[in-house]
Structure 1
Amino acid sequence: MSCVAIIVAAGRGTRAGGGLPKQYHQMAGEPILRHTLRLFANMPGITAILPVIHLNDADLFAQAAIGLEKILTPVEGGATRQESVHAGLKVLAGHAPELVLVHDAARPFATPALLARAIKAAGEHGAAIPVLSVTDTIKQVDAEGQVVATLQRDALRTVQTPQSFRYNLLHSAHEAAAQAGIRNLTDDAAVMEWAGQPVFTFEGEAANMKLTSVEDMEKARMAAPVAQQKSTPSWASLGDVRTGTGFDVHAFAPGDHVILGGVTITHSAGLSGHSDADVGLHALTDALLGALCDGDIGSHFPPSDPQWKGTSSDRFLRHAVDKVRSLGGRIAHLDLTLICEAPKIGPHREAMRASISAICDIPAARISVKATTSEKLGFTGRREGIAAMASATIRLPFSEGDA
């Protein structure tokens, strides 16, 4: 389904201090808004991104978004959050997407997994929001601060974004609310509730905090990965361009699914291996290690070692990614080819790209996933197993010993 993300970034965010709207504060060397935009830009399930901004921030936004893909021309926000989202929805009306996600600009710690749940929930329910259970006791107090009631927390939830909807339902609800003079509902779920539309929930993420106060900003800077605290090296400074290749094979075994490229696929058989036998991630791991001239997957994770039995292969690939970064390098491109008669790879290609993008923390636009058969020749042609070939291009800084 086509799915557009509306990023609400028109607020002034004065409680965060610093003289700038909070979404433009720096975190790990970049504006907070850029972290948020990159998350959605790298998600294959997102068709486009529509930012809603304050016109006074046009230059700040342009700097935050430079080089990112899928971003539409920003829309001017309104006086309230509800009016800002409505402005975005009206712009989309001419080429209405099937689904729309609405996300706070100052929530930079959402993950691709959360976005995937949001997209799925919108398609299934029409309106859905990420929530967390309440663990603290909640008291209701009066104007003088006296407790008047203790609320039953079992039925209470805290609400996050991205909130997800079928576009036509959310647009209609916002139009009706605007015509009725309702302008201060605090989230899009409230707009849907006002319009009489049912709203469902899905699992949120504890780390998906909204940055509001000075204290929040300090927590965010502490929470940002240490590797991101340094400015990302520019491509121009990484003159050592290297390419590595990887190849892996796993035989079919009794089972009802295979894991390929980090994606579980229902199948008439499983794959045999000491780990989860993800032949695609194994080949990519070897390609990165090859580009580093640092052995192969077996030398880092020996199959004779029982600690790796049944291990998810994203751990292997992440290890190789971390080794690239520990040398001050960047991954420029990954190319994976899966060779099998079955299962069909095409329906799962974008999910694999999203999975690999999340593991490697690089844009999906730099990841290729392809599939082919061996024309019924050899062990793959006889449906005895699956093979994978991969290549990786990385860029490293020149060392002192390089000519």
Structure 2
Amino acid sequence: MTGPEARVAVVVPAAGRGERLGGGVPKALRPLGGRPMLVHAVQALAAADLVSQIVVAAPPTLVEVVSRLLGPDVRVLAGGAERVDSVRGALRALDDDIRVVLVHDAARPLTPPSLVDAVAAAVLGGQPAVIPVLPVADTVKEVDAQGRVLRTPTRDGLRAVQTPQGFRREVLEAAYANSDDGPAVTDDAGLVERLGVPVTTIPGAEEAFKVTRPIDLVFAEALLARRPLAESGRS
């Protein structure tokens, strides 16, 4: 049983190229406010009260560079060809006494530490899997391969999913042990759902949006510029 004394780790898969964002460098290392997005993301994780270990899966050729950027308190290892490979490798690198694991996108650099703690606290409180979500603002259409609308689902039961996503360690390890079975999924909770494990939602944060396209980077720069200097980490 997970208790309040359990140690919490965060895994950050950051080995992807992020081609939609462009720029010629891995997405996690794209500058935001003069520093790589990954640095912002990791600093927010380190500021969370409940996090005791951070493991980052970096591009294999940039492990030393990323290690210097993040400092000695963050464990950096070579990521895999796919996100699942990076997370699986990071799970093997966790300290033995870690009982709760969060997985966080490096491309969500402005996620508040309070959200990180809220996810961790929910798992520590007994939930096997927890994800932060926001209501869907846009109307959503399901379409076929030719672009024809099949149906319009009601927004009442739809939520946009964010990270970090939190899990009891044994649950996430079991999910990744079976990650090669079935169709591809786009988040860690999707793998856990295949096990039949219930996934609980908590309110997300508007600032925890994902930087995927150039316009997202513009929004992130604007938000960062409005933060107090101490909070943004600028000198």
- TM-score for both structures, normalised by structure 1: 0.53
**2:112–2:207 contact (8 Å) kept in structure 1:** no
Change in Cα spacing, 1:194 to 1:96, as seen in structure 2 (3 Å) is farther
Change in Cα spacing, 1:49 to 1:42, as seen in structure 2 (3 Å) is same
Q: CA deviation at 1:168?
A: 1.2
Q: Which has the higher contact order (CA 8 A, sep 6+)?
A: 2
Q: 1:33 aligns with which of 38, 58, 69?
A: 38
Change in Cα spacing, 1:13 to 1:362, as seen in structure 2 (3 Å) is closer
Q: CA deviation at 1:111?
A: 0.6
Aligned residue in 2 for 1:195: 195
CA offset digits 1:115-148 (Å, max 9, x no partner): 1110111122110100111122111112221211
Where structure 1 has 5 or more consecutive residues not aligned to the other structure, the ranges are 228-321, 326-359, 364-395, 397-403
CA offset digits 1:148-170 (Å, max 9, x no partner): 11111111111000000111111
Aligned partners of 2:121 and 2:98: how far apart in 1?
15
Alpha-carbon RMSD: 2.2
Q: CA deviation at 1:79?
A: 2.3
Q: Which moved more, 1:197-206 or 1:83-92?
A: 83-92
Change in Cα spacing, 1:226 to 1:131, as seen in structure 2 (3 Å) is closer
Change in Cα spacing, 1:7 to 1:54, as seen in structure 2 (3 Å) is same
Aligned partners of 1:76 and 1:195: how far apart in 2?
28
CA offset digits 1:330-359 (Å, max 9, x no partner): xxxxxxxxxxxxxxxxxxxxxxxxxxxxxx
Residues 349-368 of structure 1 mapped to structure 2, 5 A cutoff = 361=231
**1:14–1:22 contact (8 Å) kept in structure 2:** yes
Aligned residue in 1 for 2:222: 222
**1:82–1:184 contact (8 Å) kept in structure 2:** no
**1:33–1:64 contact (8 Å) kept in structure 2:** no
Q: Residue 17 of structure 2 aligns to a residue in which SS?
A: coil
Aligned partners of 1:22 and 1:141: how far apart in 2?
29
Aligned residue in 2 for 1:114: 115
**1:41–1:70 contact (8 Å) kept in structure 2:** no
Residues 254-333 of structure 1 mapped to structure 2, 5 A cutoff = none
Q: CA deviation at 1:205?
A: 0.8
**Identity among equivalent pairs (%):** 35
Residues 95-134 of structure 1 mapped to structure 2, 5 A cutoff = 95-123=96-124, 124-134=126-136
Larger Rg belongs to = 1
Aligned partners of 1:210 and 1:122: how far apart in 2?
23
Residue identity matched to 2:225: P
Residues 54-203 of structure 1 mapped to structure 2, 5 A cutoff = 54-66=59-71, 70-72=73-75, 74-92=76-94, 95-123=96-124, 124-178=126-180, 180=181, 182=182, 184-203=184-203
Change in Cα spacing, 1:158 to 1:25, as seen in structure 2 (3 Å) is same
Q: CA deviation at 1:177?
A: 2.8
How many residues end up aligned between the 2 structures?
228
Q: CA deviation at 1:50?
A: 0.4
CA offset digits 1:160-199 (Å, max 9, x no partner): 0000011111112211334x4x583221101101111111
Q: Residue 12 of structure 1 aligns to a residue in which SS?
A: coil
Where structure 2 has 5 or more consecutive residues not aligned to the other structure, the ranges are 1-5
**1:104–1:161 contact (8 Å) kept in structure 2:** yes
Q: CA deviation at 1:43?
A: 2.0
Residue identity matched to 1:155: G
Aligned residue in 2 for 1:311: none
Aligned residue in 2 for 1:291: none
Q: Residue 179 of structure 2 aligns to a residue in which SS?
A: helix
**1:83–1:183 contact (8 Å) kept in structure 2:** no
Q: CA deviation at 1:362?
A: 9.2
Aligned partners of 2:104 and 2:210: how far apart in 1?
10
CA offset digits 1:253-277 (Å, max 9, x no partner): xxxxxxxxxxxxxxxxxxxxxxxxx
Q: 1:16 aligns with which of 15, 21, 27?
A: 21
